[in-house]
Structure 1
Amino acid sequence: MLILEEMQARGHESLTLLHHAPSGLKAALAVHSTVLGPAIAGVRLREQDEELAVRGALALSESLTLKAALAGLNYGGGACVLMMPEAGVDDPHAREALFRALGRQVRPLATRAVLTEDIGVTPADIAFVAQETPATLGMNTDTSAITGYGVYRGMKAAARFALGAESMRGVRVVIMGVGAVGRALAAHLHREGARLTVADDRPERAQALADQLSGVDVVSCGSALDVPGDILAPCGFGHSIHSADVSRLQCRLIAGGEHHPLTRRGEEAVKEAGIVYMPDFAINSAGLIAAATGADMNAAAEQVYQIVSRITHVAEQYSKPPSVVARRMAERRIELIGSLGRA
């Protein structure tokens, strides 16, 4: 599918390519919706080519629209995906230059997009952005830790629906991706007595977590989908579960911190397989809530718990998949509040 066709199909408003040669800035800024307010754009930094960066920004920004709407925030959804500069960003001055260049490039868009941290980006990086534009959030918030705790609380609410109880003691959970969010989730689950299996595309990171937490099994990313478990928690970069691999799954619930782990086709395959899927935009919003409202970790995670509980209640009442219910709830708020027009 061509990029403009994909934008039209998803309902995107704009896609901006950013470039600043001296700092090595190459980025794609996608704005999916500003119906509820300026688009909160998660900023990601990783090694990838141009096409992956653009398509990643489009997918992530749509997810952010639904997430903000479902969380009751007066923001739309956006995403800014940075390609890693050829020289890297190990030099602190180079990192400062990269993020200040980003801030200066997006400054004219301040009424449409607000930048906050995502994978590979720290609050300190957003502070650099904030030196060039006022349109930032979260530079004083540990969003990864808060998101991880929110996923844990949301997982408990989803487990009550899918497994019949919200206790994690003895529950087998497979975590795919143990970056900052995955590690935080693992720590909370381990503390409650869950039986954990972890995988990461950097095997040494998974092993380091297993060395830190007793009784944790480590498997390769390629075999993680084959591990028997009650819950599969994708916490990677996106699209961890391909439609063709759904038949390999041996879980009853998919609930994790990763944005768009499944395509729409994958969601259909999961539904046909009888697996409950709690979508990313419903369960991984605690960090966004904290950054946008100033809520502390407990308050933000409790809001996620209540959101997931409301979704599962409606899903049970009307015999609908939670993923369908969650999307409709988000779209309904956008329709209703959007109909009021601009203040």
Structure 2
Amino acid sequence: MDVLNQMQLDNHEQVNFFHDPKTNLKAIIAIHSTELGPSLGGCRMMEYESEQNALFDVLRLAKGMTYKSAIAGLKLGGGKSVIIGNSKTNKTDELLEKFGEFIDSLGGRYITAEDMGMNVKDMEIIKRKTNHVTGLAKDLGGSGDPSEVTSYGTYMGILSAVKFKLNKDNLDGLSILVQGLGNVGMKLIAYLAKHDINLFVSDIDADKVSDCVSSFGATPIAEKDVYDLDANIYCPCAVGATVNDKTIDRLNFDIIAGAANNVLENYEKHGNILFRKNILYAPDYVINAGGVINIYNELGEYNKIDVFKQVEKIYDNLLNIFVESEKQNIATNIVSDLLAEKIINEHKNDKIRI
């Protein structure tokens, strides 16, 4: 693995590899930036085809967290961690405690939270060994499961995209596909279902699909048919890279706006293709910022009403990006990157002047 060159490509500050022989913990923590504050980002536990794939995943996720926090106006940098293993069969209290020790050894440069394959209970176990953890249960001073806030922010982003693209103030009459029926996807559907929509759902878990069919009158879509569906809005809410070389020519949506991270497999290439196809893309790290806004507020005096008010700003943040994209005639994801970098560079310049 050519780690240093990969770090240099996107200016990552630090990458740490951890292994504990006793618990067989294999983990990577990537810190992209601490310019605006300590790096914060969730821990993802999953099996990877190779360690190279795990490194690629954690590096781009960490960078996304930097940009996400910058645009959301948070005093945080960007980081991310991955534990390589099966979250159902390899996860033990001892492994999570050892991971907590590794986080603690970084002296607060990285703060963890939950992500795919991890949950609030896991954060409680990690906290036994470090205070650099958020997304905790309410009885431990946290706010509990952040998926409600993430889904609400995604819903705000969808409303923003619909206003810009279709000039509508509601979702009535629209067809919407939600791919991925985890905690965020299901809560997002609850918000979407307040409108008179034609709902399509897709997930590898047949029971979750059945629940949506019975609870919301949704139409199930097989995974192989997702990218050929004729619908207004595609909401990816599971794994990333679903917009790739194999799927992008098949897409016929007006809008892509979902809670998944790293939706574009090739960030610049696929963002530009969507722009040329006149498909409005809501940059993932802007639309799904509700979760990081929520856990950031755990670091101070947590007030749920204030958190939801902050999350509602996602609507305007995206609208500004859409307008600027149209004005400059460049893809929305490039506009959002430029905006995030401007915020970070202005902070650097302010420190120099001081």
The two structures share one fold, judged by TM-score above 0.5: yes
Listed as ranges, the matches of 1:241-256 within 5 Å are 241-256=243-258
The one of 188, 201, 205 equivalent to 1:202 is 205
CA distance in 1, matches of 2:231, 2:147: 25
Aligned to 2:104, the other structure's residue is in SS state helix
Confirm whether residue 136 of structure 1 aligns to residue 133 of structure 2: yes
Tell me which residue corresponds to 1:37. 37
Deviation at 1:148, TM superposition (A): 0.9
Aligned to 2:258, the other structure's residue is in SS state coil
Of stretches 6-15 and 65-74 in structure 1, the one that deviates more from structure 2 is 6-15
**Matched positions, count:** 338
Change (3 A) 1:182 1:87: closer
Tell me the amino acid that sits aligned with residue 275 of structure 1.
Answer: I
CA distance in 1, matches of 2:186, 2:154: 11
Deviation at 1:149, TM superposition (A): 1.2
Confirm whether residue 105 of structure 1 aligns to residue 102 of structure 2: yes
Confirm whether residue 326 of structure 1 aligns to residue 336 of structure 2: yes
Listed as ranges, the matches of 1:258-277 within 5 Å are 258-262=260-264, 263-264=266-267, 265-277=269-281
Tell me which residue corresponds to 2:66. 65
CA distance in 2, matches of 1:111, 1:237: 28
Alpha-carbon displacement from aligned partner over 1:118-174 (angstroms, at most 9, x marks no partner): 122112211221221111122123211210111011110111111211311121111
Q: TM-score, normalised by structure 1?
A: 0.92
Change (3 A) 1:33 1:292: same
CA distance in 2, matches of 1:247, 1:87: 35
The one of 296, 301, 309 equivalent to 2:319 is 309
CA distance in 1, matches of 2:203, 2:4: 33
Change (3 A) 1:164 1:319: farther
Q: Verify the 8 A CA contact 1:287 1:300 in the aligned structure 2.
A: no
> Could you tell me the percent identity over the aligned residues?
27
Deviation at 1:9, TM superposition (A): 1.2
Q: TM-score, normalised by structure 2?
A: 0.89
CA distance in 1, matches of 2:333, 2:204: 27
RMSD: 2.1
Change (3 A) 1:198 1:86: closer
Tell me which residue corresponds to 1:284. 288
Aligned to 1:156, the other structure's residue is in SS state helix
Question: 5+ residue gaps in structure 1?
Answer: none
Q: Verify the 8 A CA contact 1:27 1:81 in the aligned structure 2.
A: yes
Q: Verify the 8 A CA contact 1:311 1:326 in the aligned structure 2.
A: yes
Question: 5+ residue gaps in structure 2?
Answer: 137-141
Aligned to 1:341, the other structure's residue is in SS state helix
Deviation at 1:79, TM superposition (A): 0.7
